[in-house]
Amino acid sequence: MLTVLSGGTGTPKLLQGLALLVGQENLSIIVNTGEDLEISGLYVSPDIDTVMYTLAGVVNEETWYGIRGDTFEEHERIKREGKPELLRIGDRDRAVKQHRTMLLKRGTPLSAVTRELCRDFNVLANVMPMSDDRVTTRVYTEAGPMTFHEFWVARRAQDRVKSVLFEGAESARAAPGVLEAIEKSEAIIIGPSNPVTSIGPIVAIREIRSALEKVRVKVIAVSPIVGGSPVSGPAGALMQGLGYEVSPVGVAQYYRDFVSGLVIDNRDEKLAPKIEELGLEVFLTDLLLPDLPSRVKLARSVLAFAGVKTNGPTLRKSG
């Protein structure tokens, strides 16, 4: 059994590889909900949906958001009415979000709702929100405080970042199953996600952070930063704003309290000694993940680095 901490773009690529190698039923995935928001009366949980759609094999891999081949009639209709939506929500995707919103309104916790939605999509992995309590990532910039989506989607990360707060994290409890998964796993993997706004909210929950600090198994992170910049998204601007170097060294500094090893790209080899000085083991490989073979290869390396045995070279079919 493996536990993976995930956001909604980089880590899902690694999840595809891990699911093929070990089988979805052996994966517990703790997903960031700091970017959850309401759009047109719907409760939108972008990272949970991307993880779920990825494991169901229906994710739109051009955007790592929504369902492949979806239509956007309702989104366009709402736009024509003069109330444009901050995120592009497809019609099938909207139906999933409507179902979630209805269940939440009935009082079902987000973790149980997520289980039900995953069951509908035949996802066998144990996909869990980090918490059933609401945690909201707030980016404080020179232009004022804003949510992650205002910062990134509406304003394209143009504002200089001063600090990032995870509102509600202080009192938030880990969702049911999260701590157990961490305690029982053969290894913990922090995928190549934005350290500040995807992994940051998860580890801001005290129970989760201290569970990660306590485990005896390896906690392996994969760098989302390759050759001095993120592969995609605003991780660079956020890390820089918080005073971290935009490099795998900065990633290592951010994670050093609870991570035992960092996977970095071959082209960052010269940085390995600096990361080792921080007390982390380093594994070098190719971290650009444009296709399934590259994702399976990374998954294999991560498992080897974490000391997890797989059943030889035969790939297991994912759920």
155/180 with CB nearer ligand GDP: 155
Minimal distance, residue 166 CB to ligand GDP, in Å: 14
Least spacing, CB of residue 207 vs ligand GDP, in Å: 22
Q: Say whether residue 198 binds ligand GDP (CB under 6 A).
A: yes
Report the nearest approach of ligand GDP to the CB of residue 294 (Å): 8
**Sequence-distant (≥ 6) Cβ neighbours of residue 309 within 8 angstroms:** none
283, containing H or E segment? strand 281-285
- Of 15-23, 190-198, 244-252, 254-262, which segment contacts ligand GDP by CB under 6 A? 190-198
Q: Which residues contact 225 (CB under 8 A, 6 or more apart)?
A: 231, 235, 236, 239, 246, 247, 248, 250, 251
Binding piece for ligand GDP, criterion CB under 6 A, among 84-92, 98-106, 159-167, 229-237: 229-237
Nearer to ligand GDP, 180 or 267 (CB): 267
Bridge partners (DSSP) of residue 127 are 29
Angle between helix 110-120 and helix 46-56 axes, rounded to 10 deg: 30
Q: Decide: is 311 part of the binding site for ligand GDP (CB under 6 A).
A: no
User: CB 65 → ligand GDP: shortest distance, Å?
Assistant: 8
> Hunting for tokens 């080792």 — which residue is that?
276
The DSSP symbol for 263 reads E
Tokens for 146?
Answer: 């804003």
Residue 230 makes contact with ligand GDP by CB under 6 A: yes
> Does 193 participate in binding ligand GDP (rule CB under 6 A)?
yes
Query: Can residue 8 be called a binding residue for ligand GDP (CB under 6 A)?
Result: yes
What are the backbone dihedrals phi and psi of residue 187, each rounded to the nearest 5 degrees, phi first? -165, 155
Residue 42 in tokens = 């719907």
Among residue numbers 15 through 54, which ones bind ligand GDP (CB under 6 A)? Answer: 47
CA separation for the pair 149, 219 (Å, rounded):
29
Residues making contact with ligand GDP (CB under 6 A) = 7-11, 13, 47, 192-194, 198, 223-224, 226, 230-233, 235, 287-289
